[in-house]
């Protein structure tokens, strides 16, 4: 479906770096934003495996669209689904599932990313609810979002223990869009700055309880990581196909370059790593569906799959020779898009420390 619907537009989405409104709405009409949500809400009630397949196929078509759509399916709407009032669900979640409203989540700030405890955005309680003050950066869909789930601290001294998530809707006084970040990857999914200048929200816009934000986020963190692992797989497969095609067509020294051993080595290495990434990713999704996932499996899937994607896009650009630089071929887009996967959901460096710390706690015989 995405092959037909989105893939032909991947280049145009990348070049224009504009929000693909038509495609976004089309996916909504087809019901995909409700993949993870129950049928009563207009969702598909799909399991993590199915959602991962969706992420993979999205990324295979267009990383820009994938960033937009996965935000809508997961991080941008999940807190409202879990903690929103009926009224908020009616106003935000259900239209978002239908593709009529756009949701996003805002963690990152200019000076903190993976270190969530370092956020400076404040939520100050008053008699009307909370006043949100701060700036967020790198917010996917931020310029088109109708509602945002914002991480803010009610007690900065408590670091992670002071964080809560707050729903802020478009039109709320003090809420505005700042600069747009021009970037090399996942173009089409605008990443922008959001400014909260004494933004008053009612008490019910606190999603869940004060100070429990980090815990709530942790509930979906593994799912986010598996989803990004799916994006890595999609990108890797898409690039791999392009490399294969070129290796079959391009001739040097009187033979297709695919007949040379050094090119064959690349093909074999890429295929093996993609396969391994696929197993790690879908194994983690399967564990999630069985209810026995630990954070480590999701971290391993995200680490390995995204690193594989970066390896594959590198090798594919080498197979293309100088054409790996030319805008008329997709190899350069894959190469740029690969970087997008390295940071969200935890950098590779942070994931490695998570995996290692977990392993260090275990005795030798239960290392799997």
Residues near 331 by Cβ (< 8 Å), separated by ≥ 6?
A: 239, 242, 243, 246, 313, 316, 317, 320, 323, 324
Of the candidate residues 9, 81, 138, 240, the single one contacting other proteins (CB under 8 A): 138
Of the candidate residues 173, 262, 363, 367, the single one contacting other proteins (CB under 8 A): 262
Residue 170 binding other proteins, by CB under 8 A: no
Q: Which structure tokens are listed for 348?
A: 């590779």
Question: Can you tell me the distance from the alpha carbon of 220 to that of 237, in angstroms, rounded to the nearest whole number?
Answer: 26
- Count the neighbouring beta carbons within 10 Å of the beta carbon of residue 22: 10
Least distance CB 60 / other proteins (angstroms): 20
Residue 256 binding other proteins, by CB under 8 A: no
**CA–centroid distance for 85 within its chain:** 26
Binding map of other proteins across residues 331-360, x = CB under 8 A, - = no contact: -x--xx--xx-xxx--xxx--xx-------
- The residue among 262 and 360 lying less far from other proteins, judged by its C-beta, is 262
Question: Can you tell me the distance from the alpha carbon of 102 to that of 25, in angstroms, rounded to the nearest whole number?
Answer: 10
Give, as ranges, the residues between 1 and 60 that touch other proteins (CB under 8 A). Answer: none
Question: Can you tell me the distance from the alpha carbon of 217 to that of 214, in angstroms, rounded to the nearest whole number?
Answer: 5
Residue 322 binding other proteins, by CB under 8 A: yes
Give, as ranges, the residues between 83 and 112 that touch other proteins (CB under 8 A). Answer: 108, 111-112
Q: Which structure tokens are listed for 219?
A: 């509930």
Least distance CB 340 / other proteins (angstroms): 7
Of the candidate residues 253, 292, 363, 366, the single one contacting other proteins (CB under 8 A): 253
- The residue among 100 and 327 lying less far from other proteins, judged by its C-beta, is 327
Please give the radius of gyration of the chain, using alpha carbons only, rounded to the nearest integer.
21
Mark residue 285 as left, alpha or beta (left: phi above 0; alpha: psi -120 to 50; beta: remaining): alpha
- The residue among 110 and 202 lying less far from other proteins, judged by its C-beta, is 110
Residue 269 binding other proteins, by CB under 8 A: no
Q: Candidates 61-69, 78-86, 165-173, 310-318 — which segment interacts with other proteins by CB under 8 A?
A: 310-318
Question: Can you tell me the distance from the alpha carbon of 232 to that of 76, in angstroms, rounded to the nearest whole number?
Answer: 20
Residue 120 binding other proteins, by CB under 8 A: no
**Number of amino acids touching other proteins (CB under 8 A):** 45
Of the candidate residues 40, 86, 127, 328, the single one contacting other proteins (CB under 8 A): 328
Of the candidate residues 53, 170, 321, 358, the single one contacting other proteins (CB under 8 A): 321
Contact in structure between 113 and 137 (CB atoms under 8 Å): no
Question: Can you tell me the distance from the alpha carbon of 41 to that of 51, in angstroms, rounded to the nearest whole number?
Answer: 17
- The residue among 95 and 188 lying less far from other proteins, judged by its C-beta, is 188
Least distance CB 184 / other proteins (angstroms): 5
Q: Candidates 1-9, 22-30, 200-208, 317-325 — which segment interacts with other proteins by CB under 8 A?
A: 317-325
Q: Candidates 84-92, 123-131, 180-188, 229-237 — which segment interacts with other proteins by CB under 8 A?
A: 180-188
Q: Which of 231, 246, 241 is nearest to 308 (CA)?
A: 231
Residue 181 binding other proteins, by CB under 8 A: yes
Question: Can you tell me the distance from the alpha carbon of 84 to that of 93, in angstroms, rounded to the nearest whole number?
Answer: 9
Q: Find the largest Cα–Cα distance for the chain.
A: 79
SS3 (DSSP) at 324: helix
Give whole-number Cα distances, 282 to 276, 293, 341, in Å.
10, 12, 17
Contact in structure between 124 and 357 (CB atoms under 8 Å): no
Of the candidate residues 3, 25, 100, 115, the single one contacting other proteins (CB under 8 A): 115
Query: Which residues are at the interface with other proteins (CB under 8 A)?
Result: 108, 111-115, 117-118, 138, 181-185, 251-254, 260, 262-263, 310, 314, 317-318, 321-322, 324-328, 332, 335-336, 339-340, 342-344, 347-349, 352-353
């Amino acid at each position: 479906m995405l092959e037909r619907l989105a893939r032909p537009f991947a280049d145009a989405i990348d070049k224009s770096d504009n929000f693909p409104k038509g495609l976004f709405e089309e996916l909504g009409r087809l019901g995909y934003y409700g993949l993870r949500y129950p049928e009563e809400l207009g969702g598909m009630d799909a399991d993590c495996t199915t959602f991962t397949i969706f992420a993979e196929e999205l990324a295979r078509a267009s990383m820009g669209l994938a960033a937009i759509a996965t935000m809508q399916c997961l991080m941008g709407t999940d807190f409202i689904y879990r903690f929103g009032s009926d009224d908020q669900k009616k106003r935000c979640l259900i239209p978002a599932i239908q593709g009529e409203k756009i949701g996003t989540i805002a963690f990152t700030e200019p000076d903190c990313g993976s270190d969530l405890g370092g956020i400076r955005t404040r939520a100050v309680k008053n008699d009307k609810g909370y006043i949100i003050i701060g700036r967020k950066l790198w917010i996917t869909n931020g310029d088109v979002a109708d509602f945002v789930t914002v991480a803010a601290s009610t007690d900065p001294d408590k670091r992670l223990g002071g964080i809560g998530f707050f729903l802020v809707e478009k039109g709320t006084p003090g809420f505005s869009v700042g600069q747009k970040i021009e970037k090399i990857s996942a173009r089409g999914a605008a990443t922008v700055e959001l400014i909260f200048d004494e933004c008053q929200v009612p008490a019910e816009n606190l999603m869940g309880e004060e100070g429990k934000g980090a815990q709530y986020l942790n509930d979906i963190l593994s799912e986010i990581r598996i989803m990004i692992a799916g994006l890595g797989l999609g990108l890797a497969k898409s690039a791999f196909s392009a490399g294969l095609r070129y290796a079959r067509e391009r001739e040097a020294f009187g033979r297709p370059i695919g007949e040379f051993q050094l090119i064959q080595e690349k093909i074999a290495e890429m295929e093996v790593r993609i396969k391994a990434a696929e197993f790690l990713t879908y194994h983690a999704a399967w564990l999630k569906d069985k209810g026995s996932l630990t954070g480590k499996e999701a971290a391993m899937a995200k680490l390995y799959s995204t690193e594989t994607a970066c390896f594959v896009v590198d090798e594919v650009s080498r197979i293309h020779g100088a054409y790996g630089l030319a805008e008329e071929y997709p190899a350069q887009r894959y190469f740029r898009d690969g970087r997008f996967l390295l940071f969200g959901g935890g950098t590779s460096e942070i994931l490695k420390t998570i995996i290692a710390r977990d392993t260090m706690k275990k005795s030798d015989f239960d290392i799997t």
